[in-house]
Chains A and B, each alone.
Chain A
Amino acid sequence: MGGGYTARVSTRYQGAEIMTALLELRNLRKDYGGLRAVDDVSLTVPEGAIIGLIGPNGSGKSTLINLIAGATQRSAGRVIFAGDDISDLPPDAVFKLGIARGYQEPALYLKLTVLDNMLLPVKNQRGEGPWYAPWWRTWHNEEAKHAERALAVLEQVQLLQQYDTLASDLSGGQMKLLEIARSLMGQPKLLLLDEPTAGVAPKLAYEIFEQIARLRREHGITFLIVEHRLEILFDFADTVYVMHLGNLLAEGSVAEIANHATVREVYFGE
């Protein structure tokens, strides 16, 4: 871990503005037995960007997300985040460094309330061990502050009125929003989202992406988004990477990808 890598890599980003790389994957590989799910993938996510990751089913997108989040062990290659090698860190350490993630199926605590879902990921809570937990006074003040912040975030995603609802009683779209809102409580720099609009009505899907754009604008959060709804993704993404059979097939701006011959052949079947 750590140490060796210090140089910041620059990439071109939309209007020739020079940005630093927040996340960098170098020759990342993942084998499952004989199957190579991710094959020698190198890519760069500049700070403050919204990066789309597309590709047919089974092309290795979700595995890539799992590799970054530390949920899956890599076979080879490196994951560099904000200049540090995080390739071998467990998921909890990755989250603490500032990488939060969403799942295809919203991974909420269905038996906890919306507010408790929001408060759970807050880092370094004093009352989170058997020693201080029984002594309310030691953590009441910070709990109140966290609650205020959680409620402010809930208001932004229009879930404030549901703060006391069990997560299982939310609609599909609300669950997606809550999942994104919840990951914000860990104050992430990078959000990895795996199909944030899967199973959501078109209008709400657009709303979810507007929230994403707003979070980037207001909080400077960087996004790496796996998405199948290209029509929406293309309205918001700065750069799009295309995966196919574990490989990176292409990278470029939305316009470049939309007109890329091989991409059209593989992805759109043309």
Chain B
Amino acid sequence: MINIDIGATAVAVLTLFGIYSLMAISLNLEYGVAGVPNFGKALFISIGAYTAGITYTRTLPLLAGFEAIHPCGPTMGGALQLRSEIMASQPAAGFINLALTFLIAAAVAGAVGFAVSYITLRLKEEWFLALVLLVGGETVRIVVRGADDFICSHNGISGVAQPFYFVEDPRSSALLFMLLALALALLAYVYSQRLIHSPYGRMLKGLREDEDITRGLGKGVSLARAQIMAVGSVIAAIGGALFALNTGFVNTNDYVVNLTLDVWVMVVLGGIGNNRGALLGALLIALLDRFTQIGAIALNMSGSELEFNYVRFIAFGLILIWMLRNRPGGLLPESRLTTNAHDVAKGLIGR
């Protein structure tokens, strides 16, 4: 049998939980609250990851006072060694580079999300947006994979170390990164929670229920939808950057339709329109992911031929269908939005 290091496992699960939370909150804002079917989630997540791939190979050496080495082809090894050394010895450069990564990722993803939402206006049927986003995400992936100099085509970029790589004790280093991920997830949670319980959240829920009526009540729904797509995309891209740092490499193979489905499972499982549900969904999927990994290793060591990773996907499909059939609102169904208007009313009526 294998020994499970409970501490390390907990840190790994919680790190993943933080990263997944960002993704789930972002989809919950877009689909759960505003009703925009973002089946291109992988695209916006990948923007964060690709940005990390680029900054780690281009700006990081500059920040540390070196000349950047081309990360692909024959100089691949040298470039990898250089960024590992920088991450190990110059924490300041690492942190500035991380901030830069977040900034660029947020700006690019936000702009793309904002612009993409206007596609809806050109579509004959509402659900075509789902198809365009799904297909658009895959197209970008294929183009990035085909482009040699971007993130080294299908080879990807490895050695994308998390910012606490310089801490010598690997356990402390992982713990610090976990705290970073959780802090960012908490920030996104508080922000989105306040967003829902505001006049803006009210308008978005109105938009989700009926776009035409909302427009007829004087609301600029196209702008509102563009804004929430931008907000969601920024959060997703931050999640994507962390995702890349967590695995340590950037490869287009990670940002496929299955990743989009993972995020949808989190939201559908936890509760559509409920941020706490999104967090719960993220936690459950993070646990499931970790335990499939452990299960796969255990099964392998016991000499079984069964590939456990396949079981994970089957479980995903079954969970999704069971939820859609039996608990369409998710484990934590949507709660009512409340602003201080409700307190005013309560005070007036006296109950």
Say if the beta carbon of A251 comes within 8 Å of chain B. no
Bound Cα distance A122, B200 (Å): 12
B217's contact among A110, A120, A146, by CB below 8 Å, is which?
A120
Neighbour of A150 across the interface among B191, B210, B336, B341, CB < 8 A = B341
Say yes or no: is A214 at the interface (Cβ < 8 Å to chain B). no
Contact of A136 among B191, B194, B209, B336 (CB under 8 A): B194
Contact segment of B93-101, B218-226, B302-310:
B218-226
Chain A 126-155 interface mask (CB, 8 Å, partner B; 1/0): 111110011110011001101110110000
How big is the B interface, by class? Answer: 35 or more
Given contacts A120-B202, A133-B199, A133-B200, contact A186 B218 (CB under 8 A): yes
In A55-104, the 8 Å CB interface with B consists of: 69, 71, 90-93, 95-96, 100-101, 103
Question: B219 contacts which chain A residues (CB < 8 A)?
Answer: 92, 120-121, 128
The answer to whether A107 and B210 touch across the interface, beta carbons within 8 angstroms, is: yes
Stretch binding the partner chain, chosen from B17-25, B158-166, B312-320, B342-350: B342-350
A164 interface residue, CB < 8 Å from B?
yes
Determine the residue in chain B with the shortest Cβ distance to A97: B218
Query: Contact: B206 with A109, CB < 8 Å?
Result: yes
Asked if A136 and B200 sit within 8 Å, CB to CB, the answer is no
Say whether B199 contacts A112, CB under 8 Å: no
Interface size class of A (residues with CB under 8 A): 35 or more
Q: Shortest Cβ distance from B117 into chain A, in angstroms?
A: 13
Closest to A150 in B: B341
Residues of chain A from 151 to 171 with CB closer than 8 A to chain B in the complex:
151, 160-161, 163-164
In the complex, the answer to whether A133 meets B216 with C-beta atoms within 8 Å is no
A42 beta carbon closer than 8 Å to chain B: no
The reply to whether the CB of A229 lies closer than 8 angstroms to some CB of chain B is no
Chain B residues with CB under 8 A of A182: 217
A163 touches B199 (CB 8 A): no
A-B contact pairs, 21 of them (CB 8 A): A71-B216, A92-B216, A95-B216, A107-B210, A112-B202, A112-B206, A115-B342, A116-B337, A119-B339, A119-B341, A120-B219, A127-B200, A128-B198, A130-B227, A134-B198, A143-B341, A146-B341, A147-B341, A148-B348, A150-B341, A182-B217
| Complex alpha-carbon distance, A159 and B232, angstroms | 37
Smallest Cβ distance from B231 to chain A, in angstroms?
5
> Looking at the complex, which one of B191, B337, B340 makes contact with A143 (CB distance below 8 Å)?
B340
A65 to B195 Cα, complex, angstroms: 35
Task: Report the minimal beta-carbon distance from A131 to chain B, rounded to whole angstroms.
Answer: 9
Q: Contacts of A130 on B, CB cut-off 8 Å?
A: 195, 200, 227-228, 230-231
Q: Which of A71, A121, A139 has the most CB of B within 10 A?
A: A121
Sample of 10 further A-B pairs with CB below 8 A, known A107-B210, A112-B205, A147-B345: A120-B203, A127-B200, A127-B339, A129-B227, A133-B201, A134-B194, A139-B199, A143-B339, A147-B342, A151-B344
